[in-house]
Amino acid sequence: MKLLKITLSAFFLFCFGLANAQDDLMNELDATKSDKKEITSAAFKGLQVANMQSTKLPVQGEFYFLVSHRFGDLTNGINNFFGLDNALTKLGGIYGVTNWLSFGLSRHTYNKTYELALKYKFANQLDNGFPFTIVGYNTMDINSEKLKVLYPDVKFDNRLAYSNQLIISRKFSSVFSAEITPIFIHKNLYDAETEAKKNTFLLGTGARCKISKRLSLNFDYAARLSTPEGFKSPYHNPATLDLDIETGGHVFQLVLSNSQPMNDVSYYTNANGITGGRGIYFGFNMYRVF
């Protein structure tokens, strides 16, 4: 927790320092704008802040091919080649059905999970107008792992899990953007003695700090709100630090996270946490636009 607080403090101090350095220039530019209300440019350059979804959607007809890796625990050192021996992989695609609606399908190594995703925009942030971009995001996971050994009576609906998110972002300046995300997770397969494993409520937050034309530092974090009194979970609140690199046709994201799984349900409910300096996972997200 101490490490997380230091990381958060350093991140926001750095961002606000950059933002203040550009205040005078932005004020001069704002003075020349007309009163016409136009859509503010995207608060985030990537479809994800780091692990958490951003309010960016593909435009109509765009197809994004996604490759993500999360290697094993970095702190295990040379024993697992600093995590490279134990990678999880995510392969998927996202298609822009309209400018306000996209559909995604991905396959994850973790639990051999297939994830269906729907993302849709309710409102855009406007220059001199509405102050936020609001987006809905829903996923359905299908666990295709062989479960019959542990659960002989398992049915198809037991393999399903869902996430429901409302993402609200604001671009404060050309340097700094932030979002807040209420999250609800439901699992059809859970420990019957522990109701806390069935439904989980979280409040997520994410931020982007632009450091050059093609680079930005991003951070996301989600806090559990529904853990019953006296229940001690083996999992922790998920947190991820990210470096965005924009190149010709794609955004490349280098991440450090306390969660190795990448599907939303597992990211929000099964993060290992950083305990005693261990449980740190390095990886990347790569989006290619077609």
pLDDT at residue number 31: 47
pLDDT at residue number 245: 93
Q: What is the mean pLDDT of each run of 10 residues along the chain (290 residues)?
A: 55 54 48 66 92 96 94 75 78 96 96 96 93 97 81 81 97 96 89 64 96 94 77 80 86 92 92 73 91
In angstroms, the CA 285 to CA 48 distance is 9
pLDDT at residue number 73: 82
Q: List the structure tokens of 257.
A: 């996270």
pLDDT at residue number 199: 87
Question: In the chain, where are the structural domains located?
Answer: 2-17+62-289
Distances (CA, A) of 286 to 138, 151, 215, 289: 21, 36, 14, 10
Tell which residue, 61, 114, 122, has the closest CA to residue 91.
114
pLDDT at residue number 20: 52
Tell which residue, 110, 141, 140, 138, has the closest CA to residue 261.
110
CATH of 2-17+62-289, one of 3.30.2310.20, 3.40.50.2300, 2.40.160.40, 3.40.50.720: 2.40.160.40
pLDDT at residue number 157: 85
Distances (CA, A) of 90 to 4, 57, 169, 280: 26, 19, 26, 18
Cβ atoms within 10 Å of 112's Cβ, excluding its own: 12
Tell me if the pTM is above 0.85: no
Query: Is the CB of residue 242 less than 8 Å from the CB of residue 279?
Result: no
